[in-house]
Amino acid sequence: MDAIILQILNGLDKGSAYALIALGLTLIFGTLGVVNFAHGALFMIGAFCAVTLQKILSASYTVIDPSQTDFLGRPLEVSKPYLEAWLGPDLGGGIIEWSVPLAILFAIPVMLILGYVMERGLIKHFYRRPHADQILVTFGLAIVLQEVIKHFFGANPIPTPAPPAFAGSLDFGVWLGFDPNAIIYPYWRTVYFLFSLVIIGAVFSFLQFTTFGMVVRAGMADRETVGLLGINIDRRFTIMFGIAAAVAGIAGVMYTPINSPNYHMGMDFLVLSFVVVVVGGMGSLPGAVLAGFLLGIVESFASMNEVKNILPGIDQIIIYLIAIAILLTRPRGLMGRKGVMEE
Amino acid sequence: MSKLHFTRRRLIGTGAMAGAGLAMPTIFTGASWAQSQGGFTNAPTGGTVTLGFNVPQTGPYADEGKDELLAQQLAVEHLNGQGDGGCLNTFSSKALKGNGILGKKVQFVTGDTQTKSDAARAAAKSMIEKDGAVMINGGSSSGVAVAVQGLCQEAGIIFMAGLTHSNDTTGKDKKANGFRHFFNAYMSGAALAPVLANTYGKDRRAYHLTADYTWGWTQQESMVKATEAVGWETVNTVLTPLAATDFSSYIAPVLNSGADVLVLNHYGGNMVNSLTNAVQFGLLDKQVNGKDFAIVVPLYSELMANGAGENIKGVLGSMNWNWQLQDEGTKAFVKSFGEKYGRPPSNSAQTCYAQVLLYADAVERAGTFNPCGVGEALEGFEFDGLGNGKTLYRADDHQCFKDVLVVRGNQNPTNPYDTLEIVEVTPVEQVTYAPDHPMFAGGELGQCNPGA
Amino acid sequence: MFGLEKKDAALLLIVAVVTLCAPILLNPFPAGSEMAQFNAGYPDLMQRFAIYGIFAIGFNILFGLTGYLSFGHAAFLGVGSYSAVWMFKLLSMNIIPGIILSVIVAGLFSLVIGFISLRRSGIYFSILTLAFAQMSYNLAYSVLTPITNGETGLQLSLNDPRVLDAARTTGSLPVTTLFGAEMRSATSVQFGVWEWQFSTGFYVSAVLMLLALYLAIRIFRSPFGIMLRAVKSNQNRMSYTGLNVRPYTLAAFVISGMYAGLAGGLLAAMDPLAGAERMQWTASGEVVIMTILGGAGTLLGPIIGAGFIKYFENIFSKINDNVLHDWFAFLPDGLNDFVVTVIAPFFGDGWNLTMGLMFMAVVIFLPGGLVDGARRIGRLFRRKPAGAKRPDAATKPAE
């Protein structure tokens, strides 16, 4: 029983990353009708916003410490962050430790601008082009973005720890009446899950309860009619692209403590997020969220030893099996609309 | 005006053209044709000899590949008498004079393995067929090493493996033309187990997470055997997909399994992520069976240690070499590398550097570039002064036998380069095994192939 | 000629001549010169040009004609390679049985996957093929290791049975042959300053590529091909006329799967090793890129695209910093360093970046691929009004 609860927790956590990426992806598709293969790269750029901020905050000057030597036997150059020098080790060091949550503030404008530039500079010219061309040009863009990041940050993963306040794990089991240590879950992953709920809720309420969102939804349903009403829908869609990029970006920022970011993490998530979107139904926001959590949970269950002993290797293919099963039984995914992306 | 050169088959048919020998030799041609070329593939003509450095330049191991490449370039410099000579001064064999190899200036070409066996073979073929490379060196995975080793055997080229840790490279997939300086999974297990028993006690229960591919399996097998030999119990062994990025669902059940040690048979990105995830779950703060929970990473590399950051603190593992060693060879190499590139070399860089020098030295001693001569010179060769202490290139399987380092994530690193500290230098006797050890059984070296 | 229209026959003839002279044409720079590093005329790369050409031609039969974008074609190539290597291990080093088996197995495999995947269209089809291919890759890398030898790749060994071949006494591995002609044997010819390598393996691949192209032309021009194009332009209308399109698309899928199997078998025949990476989704993406880069729906485009990508992967990636320093050695030291620093990210280990940029440029500015670009340039020189000639259906860019 405790093992099952544990895997549900794991699944919710994995699922929240899937859902956040898929949400942006399906948002772009639903509004602009563009299949964005660079969406994984946006997630990755978001993660590197956290890396960049961490580097900026810990910008250092060096002092020579003659009492120690470096690897060549020269006096050791010890680097001291400016922040610690200016604000004292407690406050300065504290700010550096909190660089990941702070990076959200940094990432939102960066991603909004990046999304805006991407849409105006590139995607805009592809609305009338076939979906295959959209896939290809964004795929090319994804390669370029990740190679640029590789050039500046290298191929090795870069550790970006969570604030020390979130180190360690929470003992859920005790609350539920299990033995201590039966169900423990890391604080930061719990934070990630709650965070994703907040973001998903925010996006939905934005679309549901604001005039802007109402117009966007109307545009998603019938772009032409909204246009005929004299509303500049393109402009709003551009902003939605920026928002989708920002959602992917902050999902990336918050993911960095879970796994050290590296330049190809976007590609790792790309296939998966597409599977999620398609399983949920292209263009369906609730579908993307539902499918994200569903696949996360199923994947976690498949990696249980009890399951693997019966079906070796099932955890390698379960996501794809589910995708195939759902697409064959529900042609447009869980919540897809008819006629979308079938031509 | 044209001169034609034929393969043996056609040569026998046409008979007469035997003497013509001005063209560059191509590989994979008949033996009688090539006699005039020196009797082996890519025999160097003129005043230069070309070495092929096949390292990952794209993909997740690109940084490791870059480090290897820097070390290989340094080795070429030293061979050509530039720079400070590095380990040429400390190497026990004095055949190398800093005037190239056999008086020929050393050049090199590079290829990108992409850490895929297919791409690595294509890159190696390109260097052999197009650039006339006479030796291939480098790489950062066992799949690639085995694939390229097979190619070099067929082509009649010497393969000096880079970072490859699977038992198979010098076990069931060993080849007469292939040589490995790096240590292997068996040695990791043999070196680690006694230290683990000393540190954590003899009645531990281990849980293994293992990358689901060939290297992972040999690593797991070696660790299970070695730890059980010191009295540990193996609670469970779980295979994880190579493509996995989030290991939470594999790590979550560990605490409940009754295990008190987690062994991560992972490498590269897998290792960084699984270790990070394990620390996140707070495993290191827990107590199980009344003992402090421990994590072991059997194969460490500096780059991966950097990627895992703080999480490696106190975690034990093994390495082929570390720049903090204090012998003369290490000091000479670290000095050359550090002065040139501004940081200490990684252990994959060191193995590539040593391999290039060992090859050059073997050529000098054999007096020929012929792979069979070079192989003979390397087989059973005992040397010192390259950083690993006294080392033997065993003739039976072309594996180097030398001391193995047990290292631990440094609790208080003072600079970015001492994230790992050496716990013990395990003497070579303890990691030596018989050539017909069951973990290495099933292959034969075959005969050396000079190609051509 | 061969039942082809005059224009197609001319095209085939030109391709044949160019292919057969490839060892000469691809080595335009004298051996030993600075520029020799740009030569592509060595056996392994030329074989890859031809083999990936076959792969892309086959992919184009599906994608170019029907518009179905499969993201899982690499799986068929991988399956083909594995079957061929197993044939070399069990039966004989002659490549014929290996290649025949690889085509058959890939055909059966694509029949199964196509039968399921073609129940859906558009991106749903793409995801289904992708899912199947990724499953094959993941399993081949791990659980199926007894069959595929996982990470290392399936290779020959000295104690394979090889029932048709006589027992061998030597300690070296046998080589793949075509009735005695070794695939790896090459004849090197020195002509003045040039040096050319004529290899058996390349000519075997080249002849098969020409056959594959010939067959593709026949398919493009046949009623079957026209039917496939009708599927692409409006599948609904086809269905309303009472036609069941699935048998046609399935046939196209299986044919292109068999092409991929042939390519996979040939890869193994040239170099008897089959790695699981051949089936990864990025490998499937590569053939998509090849086809689009060259020009989807055109006859020649896929071959050109394949050559382009493989050239980049094998030649461009070898231009390391040292080579760059050599190139700009004529500049003063400081300037030399500066120039190399600026351009280095695009060369050597940055080949992916340059490829990505060029690929984007082609998709943005040349929707019809390189073939379209060449045609535009040609038109510019001929100064014919663009609308003068009715555009040929077969050479229309993919929609």
Q: What is the pLDDT of residues B370-405, one digit of tens each?
A: 999 999 999 999 999 999 999 999 999 999 999 999
Task: Identify the closest residue of chain A to C287 by CA–CA distance.
Answer: A136
Determine, for residues A140 and C350 on separate chains, whether the beta-carbon distance falls below 8 Å.
no
Q: Which residues pair with B211 in a beta bridge?
A: B240
Cβ–Cβ < 8 Å for C178, C96: yes
d(CA A15, CA A27): 17
Q: Which of A151, A271, A343 shows the shortest C-beta gap to C134?
A: A271
Domains B48-183+323-402 and B186-319 share a fold: yes
Q: What is the pLDDT of residue B9?
A: 39
pLDDT at residue C85 tops 80: yes
Residue C106: band (very low, low, confident or very high) from pLDDT cuts 50, 70, 90 = very high
Select the residue from C69, C364, C399 to test the A interface by mutation, using most A Cβ atoms within 10 A: C364
Cβ–Cβ < 8 Å for A147, C352: yes
Task: Identify the closest residue of chain A to B273 by CA–CA distance.
Answer: A259
Instruction: Give ipTM to 2 decimals.
Output: 0.89
Q: What is the pLDDT of residue B10?
A: 39
- For residues A36-55, average pLDDT: 93
Closest CA to B172 of B158, B162, B160, B186: B186
Residues of B in contact with C351 (CB under 8 A): 58, 112
Using the Cβ of C354 and the Cβ atoms of chain B, whether some distance falls under 8 Å is answered with no
d(CA A83, CA A95): 8
How many angstroms separate the first and last alpha carbons of chain C? 31
Give the CATH number, domain containing residue A241.
1.10.3470
pLDDT tens readout for residues B9-59: 333 333 333 333 334 444 444 332 333 356 788 888 888 999 999 999 888
Q: Identify whether A340 is part of a domain.
A: no
CA atoms within 13 A on the CB side of A198: 9
Select the residue from C145, C158, C188, C277 to test the B interface by mutation, using most B Cβ atoms within 10 A: C188
Closest CA to C83 of C102, C99, C96, C103: C102
Q: Identify whether A106 is part of a domain.
A: yes
Tell me, letter by letter, the H, E, C secondary structure of A19-78.
Answer: HHHHHHHHHHHHHHCCCCCCHHHHHHHHHHHHHHHHHHHCCEEEEEEEEEECCCCCEEEE
Query: Which has the minimum average pLDDT: A118-127, A189-198, A247-256?
Result: A118-127
Query: Which has the minimum average pLDDT: B124-133, B274-283, C134-143, C155-164?
Result: C155-164
Q: Report the sign of the C-alpha dihedral through residues A264, A269, A275, A280, in that order.
A: negative
Top-tier CATH class for B186-319: alpha beta
Distance from CA of A222 to the nearest CA of C (A): 21
Q: What is the pLDDT of residue B13?
A: 34
Q: What is the pLDDT of residue B38?
A: 67
B307 token code pair: 């990627």
Q: Identify whether A124 is part of a domain.
A: yes
Q: Identify whether A82 is part of a domain.
A: no
Distance from CA of A312 to the nearest CA of C (A): 7
d(CA A141, CA A160): 26
Within 8 A by CB and 6+ apart from B144, the residues are: B56, B113, B115, B116, B117, B120, B164
Output the CA–CA distances (angstroms, integers) from residue B2 to B20, B103, C194, C195, in the order listed.
11, 32, 10, 10
Of chain C residues 144-163, which have a CB less than 8 A from chain B? 145, 149-153, 155, 157-158
Residues of B in contact with A10 (CB under 8 A): 248-249, 252
d(CA C186, CA B155): 12
B178 token code pair: 């292939």
Within 8 A by CB and 6+ apart from B131, the residues are: B50, B52, B109, C37
Cβ–Cβ < 8 Å for B111, B124: yes
d(CA B9, CA B14): 9
Determine, for residues A303 and B62 on separate chains, whether the beta-carbon distance falls below 8 Å.
no
Residue % of chain C over a pLDDT of 70: 93
Cβ–Cβ < 8 Å for C46, C38: no
What is chain C's mean pLDDT, rounded?
A: 85
Closest CA to B154 of A135, C12, C155: C155
- For residues A129-134, average pLDDT: 81
Within 8 A by CB and 6+ apart from C357, the residues are: A140, A144
pLDDT tens readout for residues A159-181: 998 898 888 888 887 887 777 77
Q: Identify whether A70 is part of a domain.
A: no
Task: Identify the closest residue of chain B to A168 by CA–CA distance.
Answer: B282
Cβ–Cβ < 8 Å for C98, C87: yes
Q: What is the pLDDT of residue C182?
A: 83
d(CA B431, CA B400): 11
For residue C7, with 0-12 CB atoms within 10 Å meaning exposed, 13-18 middle and 19 or more buried, which class applies? exposed
- For residues C227-238, average pLDDT: 82
Q: What is the pLDDT of residue C399?
A: 39
Distance from CA of C94 to the nearest CA of A (A): 35
Structure-model confidence comparison of residues B223 and C316, the more confident one: B223
Task: Identify the closest residue of chain A to B65 by CA–CA distance.
Answer: A155
CA atoms within 13 A on the CB side of B380: 3
Top-tier CATH class for B48-183+323-402: alpha beta
In one-letter notation, the amino acid at residue C176 is T
Distance from CA of C233 to the nearest CA of A (A): 9
Determine, for residues C271 and B27 on separate chains, whether the beta-carbon distance falls below 8 Å.
no
The residue extents of the domains of chain B are 8-37, 48-183+323-402, 186-319
pLDDT tens readout for residues B217-242: 999 999 999 999 999 999 999 999 88
Note the pTM of the prediction, 2 decimals.
0.89
Provide the residue range defining the domain that includes A271: 2-56+98-329
Residues of A in contact with C124 (CB under 8 A): 278, 327, 331-333, 341-342
pLDDT tens readout for residues C139-173: 998 888 888 888 888 888 877 888 877 655 566 67
Output the CA–CA distances (angstroms, integers) from residue B32 to B40, B401, B452, C195, in the order listed.
10, 38, 8, 21
Within 8 A by CB and 6+ apart from A58, the residues are: A81, A83, A96, A99
Tell me, letter by letter, the H, E, C secondary structure of chain B.
Answer: CEEECCCHHHHHHHCHHHHCCCCCCCCCCCHHHHHHHCCCCCCCCCCEEEEEEEECCCCCCHHHHHHHHHHHHHHHHHHCCCCCCHHHHCCCCCCCCCCCECCEEEEEEEEECCCCHHHHHHHHHHHHHCCCCCEEEECCCHHHHHHHHHHHHHHCCEEEECCCCCHHHHCCCCCCCEEECCCCHHHHHHHHHHHHHHHHCCCCEEEEEEECCHHHHHHHHHHHHHHHHCCCEEEEEEEECCCCCCCHHHHHHHHHHCCCEEEEECCCHHHHHHHHHHHHCCHHHCEECCEECEEEEEECCHHHHHHHHHHHECCEEEECCCCCCCCHHHHHHHHHHHHHHCCCCCHHHHHHHHHHHHHHHHHHHHCCCCHHHHHHHHCCEEECCCCCCCEEECCCCCEEECCEEEEEECCCCCCCCCCEEEEEEECHHHHCCCCCCHHHCCCCCCCCCCCC
pLDDT tens readout for residues C187-230: 888 777 888 888 889 999 999 999 999 999 999 999 999 888 88
pLDDT at residue B4 tops 50: no
Select the residue from A62, A71, A270, A300 to test the B interface by mutation, using most B Cβ atoms within 10 A: A71
Residues of B in contact with C187 (CB under 8 A): 4-7, 10, 26, 29
Q: Report the sign of the C-alpha dihedral through residues A226, A230, A234, A239, in that order.
A: negative
Identify the residue whose tokens are 């197009």. B130
In one-letter notation, the amino acid at residue A160 is T
Distance from CA of C82 to the nearest CA of B (A): 13
Phi, psi of B231 (to 5 degrees): 105, 0
Q: What is the pLDDT of residue A283?
A: 81
Residues of B in contact with C145 (CB under 8 A): 213-214
Q: Which residues pair with B318 in a beta bridge?
A: B299, B406
Specify the DSSP element, H or E, that contains A301: helix A285-302
Residue C1: band (very low, low, confident or very high) from pLDDT cuts 50, 70, 90 = low
What is chain A's mean pLDDT, rounded?
A: 87
Distance from CA of A316 to the nearest CA of C (A): 6
What is the domain count for chain A? 1
- For residues B349-355, average pLDDT: 96
Q: How many residues does chain B have?
A: 452
Cβ–Cβ < 8 Å for C128, C120: yes
Q: What is the pLDDT of residue C272?
A: 87
Instruction: Please give the distance of CA B182 from its chain centroid, rounded to a whole number.
Output: 4
Query: What is the number of other CB atoms lying within 10 angstroms of the CB of residue A15?
Result: 27
Task: Identify the closest residue of chain B to A11 by CA–CA distance.
Answer: B249
Q: Which of A147, A271, A332 shows the shortest C-beta gap to C352?
A: A147
Output the CA–CA distances (angstroms, integers) from residue B179 to B40, B110, B358, B374, C51, in the order listed.
18, 19, 10, 11, 32
- For residues C92-104, average pLDDT: 93
